[in-house]
Amino acid sequence: MTFSRSHELFSEAVKYMPGGVNSPVRAYRAVGREPVFIRRADGAYLFDEDGNRYIDYVGSWGPAILGHNNPVVISAIMDALGRGLSFGAATEAETTMAKLLCGAVPSLDMVRIVNSGTEAVMSAIRTARGFTGREKIIKFAGCYHGHADSMLVKAGSGLLSGASPDSAGVGTAVAASTLVATFNSLDSVAALFERNKNEIAALIVEPVAANMGVVLPEKGFLEGLRDLCTQEGALLIFDEVITGFRLGFGGAQSMFSIRPDLSCFGKIIGAGLPVGAYGGRRGVMEMVAPLGPVYQAGTLSGNPIAMAAGIAQLIFLRDHPELYRSIEVQAGRLFGGLAEIAQKKGAACTVNSIGSIGSLFFTRGPVRDFSSALRSDTKRYSVYFSYMLENGVYQAPAQFEALFVSAAHTDREIDQTLEIAGQSGFNRYV
């Protein structure tokens, strides 16, 4: 493969954008190379500006669950385009989206549509503080909840991959109000509650961590969080920006039968267009303006094009429940195959997966929290990433991210991926 056009574009981009990108992971610094510039996508494939084709396991970081350019979604977008791009006024589509979300997720009585997952989290935290009258928040080391100030403390994802555990510009007072626990450790959470009696407004968690790589909750962990929050009068917030409508139509909370007080969504509910949402039980959501004193607003919230795309995708997923099972079968073949290759090669690798998402960690397992994820050999991942990319497989350009399988991935794509990984991808890294 050649990447000359991508190199030209990147050389120009760095003159006008920090790092040449509008989101840090896109810069490929974590894998020691320049980014490829994508021109188009279709089904399970991406095509870059040099004409190279890749089997795509990023899927715009999750929302392309039906594959790229799905005709149902594209048709809905084209229909909505004929009616206008943005109105800054109420539309029927917003209510349709809200009803779909509330009908799919048992913990939702009311929702507010916003423009991103970051905005959803920021607003949910503000709502929790307004409802409880408390200031402090508990999060987990390695969990990423967007780039709002209070969440950039021991964050994962792009911050982790860029070797920067926190962000400059976050005030010390803001950071002090965020308490950090250890994922899969109820004792660490209980200790924070004990030391901060009647001060904690909420605990926020990815029910399946997906920003320190994919890390599954151990048995009893989520249930324990629910119990502790109830006992301490704090709200439980599930960040389902990754897992919502990915692990099933009701998200991770339906899979694990846990009912949080507030939930955050993004990405997939817009089918790839900018959108987010937060919601929960009626008494909490009635704190939000104009009903209550917690202010949140957005000119482009509920954008009609994003609503049309998201509604089309959600209805398709709702009406085809068998789709989740078929995607999981392909994902099982992929992640199971990678684990088998690692075992046969004697490579120090661990594969974590659930449903249609998973991660390959270049470390011996288990990987169950932030510290065990950090044992991964990022240099080895970089070599592996480059080999796979140069042989037509597009994966996350960072060790601590998830891989996503879509309905567009067939036996052909999975078999080809495993063949590339098996023949040459792993034997260099033993």
Judge if 340 and 308 occupy the same domain: no
Catalytic residue among 45, 54, 267, 381: 267
Picking from 273, 295, 319, the residue at the C-terminal end of a domain is: 319
Last residue of a domain, one of 319, 353, 378: 319
Q: Report pLDDT for 166.
A: 59
In a domain, 418, yes or no: yes
Known active-site residue 278: no
Residue 23 in any domain: the answer is yes
Please state the rounded mean pLDDT for residues 403-430. 89
Among the ranges given (76-80, 188-192, 341-345, 368-372), the one the predictor scored with the smallest mean pLDDT: 341-345
Write down the pLDDT at residue 165.
41
- 349 with 385, same domain: the answer is yes
218 and 354 part of one domain:
no
Indicate whether 429 pLDDT > 90: no
Checking if the pLDDT of 430 tops 70, the result is no
| pLDDT tens digits along 334-360 | 999 999 999 998 899 999 999 999 999
Q: What is the DSSP string of 326-383?
A: HHHHHHHHHHHHHHHHHHHHT---EEEEETTEEEEESS-S---SHHHHTTS-HHHHHH
Between CA 356 and CA 370 the distance in angstroms is 21
Q: pLDDT value at position 172? A: 72
Active site residue 429: no
| Assigned domain for 430 exists | no
Same-domain check for residues 288 and 392: no
What pLDDT band is residue 425 in, cutting at 50, 70 and 90?
Answer: low
Owning domain of residue 218: 71-319
CATH number at residue 164: 3.40.640.10
Q: Which of 28, 54, 57, 144 is catalytic?
A: 144
Question: Cα–Cα distance between 340 and 345 in angstroms, integer?
Answer: 9
Q: What is the pLDDT of residue 162?
A: 37
Same domain for 162 and 21: no
Using pLDDT thresholds of 50, 70 and 90, give the confidence band for residue 426.
confident
Residues 129 and 251 reside in one and the same domain: yes
Output helix, strand, coil percentages for the chain, rounded to the nearest 5.
Answer: 40, 15, 40
Answer yes or no: do 314 and 180 share one domain.
Answer: yes
CATH code of 408's domain: 3.90.1150.10
**Is 345 labeled as catalytic in the residue annotation?**
no
Q: Specify whether 181 is located in the same domain as 252.
A: yes
Is residue 52 included in any domain, yes or no? yes
- The first and second tokens of residue 202, run together, are 């909420």
pLDDT digits (tens, 9 = 90+) for 319-330: 999 999 999 999
Q: Do 189 and 255 fall within a single domain?
A: yes
- Number of domains, the chain: 2
Residues 161, 105 within the same domain: yes
Tens of pLDDT, residues 149-190: 677 665 554 444 333 345 676 767 777 899 999 999 999 999
CB 248 within 8 A of CB 208: no
Q: Same domain, yes or no, for 221 and 359?
A: no
Report residue 428's pLDDT band, with 50, 70 and 90 as the boundaries: low
H-only helix segments in 55-91:
71-81
Q: Could you tell me if residue 337 is inside a domain?
A: yes
Domain stops at, among 304, 319, 334: 319
Which residue in the list 239, 324, 369, 384 is annotated as catalytic? 239
Mean pLDDT rounded to a whole number for the chain = 94
**Range with the lowest mean pLDDT among 72-86, 89-103, 174-188?**
174-188
* 132 falls within a domain: yes
Q: What's the average model confidence in pLDDT over 403-412? A: 98
Residue partners of 91: CB distance under 8 A and separation at least 6:
302, 304, 307
Q: Do residue 190 and residue 290 come from a single domain?
A: yes
- Phi, psi for residue 136 in degrees, rounded to 5: -85, 150
